[in-house]
Amino acid sequence: MSLGDGSSGQLKLPCDLYDLESELKLAVKLEDYGKAAKVRDELKKAREGDEVAKLLLELGESVNKQDFDKASAIKQKLSDAVSSRSLGVMEKRRSARVNRLLVMTREGKLLTCRPDGGSIVPVGNSMDKAQFLQPTWSPGGDLIVAAKIEIPPDGKPLKIKESVIEIFWALDGTKLVEVSAPFIPFYYFWLPDSRGLVYLTTYADGPAQAGWQVSMDILRVFAGDERGLLPSGSIMHLEEGAPLFVCPSPRDKRILMHIGNKQKVAVIEPLSLDGQEVILSSRPGAFRCPQWFPIKGENGEELVAFVERSNTGDSQFVVVADANKGESKKARRVLTEIEGFATITVSPDGQRMALLARLKRNLAVRE
């Protein structure tokens, strides 16, 4: 088993490690030590063939020996290995998957298992008097994120406004990152390299009229080239709006946003000293989420779709624009005029777009 970087023909993921770990525990429990020794040797070989598993083992050994300088160097290698696998999976997303389920039990505990229910790995401390919410895999399948809330004595979690965001290693369920969050996240999306995690929350303690105010924050999981900008385990606020709709780029770390009360459609690149906000429209129409096209245009354009009002505000149009060119009229194309509220979705091959709206013309799909 080897770590794929996305450039080779095959991308191998650590599916068999889970089964071997489970077989070893069962053999020891049944006191079948002959089988346990055989599985142990197979497990050792499998770990040595998987970069993430091997480095995790080396990291634990260094920490136990209090060799913290070595542990620091190993952790950097580990972050690179996780990033490499994540980028490889994102590139080969149709064929590369860790074939496991992430399950939240009725009691709010977490575990992973095979689709048939076997090879169970508990995630986190199951003895905590707490409940996990919104568990989510990282792109490469190495990490799991979830929000944890402490259940109050009256057993009514709806009164809770604070949470803890925890990130775990999927291989053994141990904790990597724990950070307090002032509000409870309701949506996560990982950056393609798994070094950062963006999440959305609502301002739960705001007045009634601000009930739909959404905050977008980012949690730095691993420090990479931008390590001086935000340390590992730190949270940075990115944006807020009422409402706020976001669409992550299918190719890089940029985020496409529509913020209703700020009247803008824009692109930002979090955790980048070079990244600047690119305003695509200061007259957004009545629609929810703008969309990236999964492929580039004929001349390398980074295409996005959104709805824009006319200068007079009495009509609105579906627009395709280059995400790098701002509000330049030369870098956009009007597809059709619409009425009322619209929803946009782009086909996986990027060749067609479906609209849910009242149209000025008899049109449902555009090439």
Give the pLDDT band (50/70/90) at residue 90. confident
Distances (CA, A) of 106 to 111, 131, 148, 159, 323: 12, 10, 15, 19, 43
When the pLDDT of each residue in the chain is averaged and rounded to a whole number, the result is 83
pLDDT tens digits for range 309-324: 998 878 899 999 999 9
pLDDT, residue 212, reads 66
Pick from 236, 171, 222: which is nearest to 193 by CA?
222
The tens digit of pLDDT for each residue in 236-282 reads 888 999 889 999 998 888 999 999 989 999 999 886 655 578 999 99
Rounded Cα distance, 296 and 353, in Å: 15
For 245-367, CATH gives 2.120.10.30
Cα 245 from Cα 241, distance rounded (Å): 9
Domains of the chain, residue spans: 15-91, 245-367
